[in-house]
Amino acid sequence: MSTGTTKLDVVVSDVVPVNDLVTRFHFRRRDGELLPTFSGGAHVVVEMRDGDRTRLNPYSLMGSPLDTREYTISVRRDDVGRGGSLFMHRQVKPGLEMVISYPVNLFSLDLRARKHLMLAGGIGITPFMAQTAQLAGAGGNFELHYTCRTASLGTYADLLRERYGNRVRLYHDDREERIDLERLLSSQPLGTHLYVCGPAGMINWVRGRAAALGWPPETVHFEHFAAPQPGAPFDVTLAVSGKTIHVGEQQSLLEAIEAAGVDPPYLCRGGVCGQCETNVISYDGKFIHNDHWLSEEDHRSGCKIMPCVSRFEGKSLVLER
């Protein structure tokens, strides 16, 4: 059960290959009405019916929040992932009826900011597509620094340059172009907020440098949907519902709980939002925490787990679920 959200019945109105790795999908409501309003940084959870298996993956909305006739997402193909992106790339064609969640924003702009400094890495560009459109429409002050592997994999880089000119700065890994992060973070006017979306390593690097250079935590925003990592299968006892479940190698703990007919709350399914936080009653073994929600103390305590992305190795695990 996705907390506080209802589902949207949509139809795929267009599928557009963007480059070798990324494809864009357009959704419209089946009843022809406008889609719900959203703000830049919001995501939807897309339900993928793949045979007897249902995948629920979050994707940032990348269209302009000023246009709710359609939602657009861009999906980077991950050939070694759990299959969600491959399903989107191979199975989803125009005309397919799908179900998506209402938009949820866990990466929203702080509109009190005097300036918005955005750092994107790779496919992490997608929430900034919507945020820049939102800010540009309102005369907002922003600057986007976008790192991509090569020019041909710089998804939407040309479009962003065309729209916003010098407000967009590109860095190409294959040309050894690197952000001078120290200088960038040290030269921003008071009241600037920082937004980072990209690979975990980039987010950690930027957050670490910003903290060391005196940026207060409330001015630093980041989003990284951790895809659930596969791992060794394990068994879990759900104490409240009185069930024992098996978590398969390619399955997340949350998916296994849902497959057993138990309906825990969730929103992002990527270790960010905190909705599916679950108390541990007892355990004998070792947790593999992959979330960005719990504190390090929580991780060490062995009292809590985020079943959307985290796993367990050991003899027994009993959850309050």
Partner 1 sequence: MAAKTIISRPIYGTLSPQPGKHHLFIADAEGALAITDMAGKAPSGFFDGAEIVFIPSPESKHIAALEALKPMQLHVAPSFASLLPRLKQTLTNAHMGLRVYLAGTEGLIGQAMQVALEAGIDHTSIETEHRGSLARRMQCVHCKGITENVTTQPATCSHCGLLLLVRDHYSRRLAAFQGVCINAEDRSEIPPIEEAFP
Contact footprint for partner 1 (CB under 8 A): 112-114, 185-192, 194, 211-216, 218-219
* Closer residue to partner 1, CB minimum distance, 36 or 140: 140
Pick the closest to residue 69 from 117, 32, 18, 119 (CA basis). 32
* Closer residue to partner 1, CB minimum distance, 6 or 187: 187
* Closer residue to partner 1, CB minimum distance, 93 or 112: 112
- 233 Cβ contact list (under 8 Å, min separation 6): 246, 247, 248, 249
Instruction: Compute the least distance from the CB of residue 288 to partner 1, in Å.
Output: 30
Sole residue written with tokens 């000023």: 66
Which residue type occupies 187?
A: S
β-bridge partners, 119: 145, 196
Instruction: Compute the least distance from the CB of residue 44 to partner 1, in Å.
Output: 30
Sole residue written with tokens 């975990």: 200
* Closer residue to partner 1, CB minimum distance, 43 or 116: 116
* Closer residue to partner 1, CB minimum distance, 26 or 221: 221
* Closer residue to partner 1, CB minimum distance, 188 or 290: 188
Sole residue written with tokens 């991950």: 78
Whole-number Cα distances in Å, 63 to 38, 76, 103, 130, 195 = 10, 16, 12, 5, 18
Instruction: Compute the least distance from the CB of residue 310 to partner 1, in Å.
Output: 29
Instruction: Compute the least distance from the CB of residue 192 to partner 1, in Å.
Output: 5
Distance CA 306, CA 252 (A): 10
Instruction: Compute the least distance from the CB of residue 116 to partner 1, in Å.
Output: 12
Distance CA 310, CA 307 (A): 5
Instruction: Compute the least distance from the CB of residue 70 to partner 1, in Å.
Output: 36
Whole-number Cα distances in Å, 78 to 26, 85, 87, 88, 120 = 20, 6, 10, 11, 19
Instruction: Compute the least distance from the CB of residue 119 to partner 1, in Å.
Output: 14
8-state DSSP, 253: H
* Closer residue to partner 1, CB minimum distance, 148 or 194: 194
* Closer residue to partner 1, CB minimum distance, 80 or 190: 190
Q: Is 269 left (phi over 0), alpha (psi -120 to 50) or beta?
A: left
Give kind and range of the element (H or E) at residue 210: helix 200-212
Instruction: Compute the least distance from the CB of residue 207 to partner 1, in Å.
Output: 12
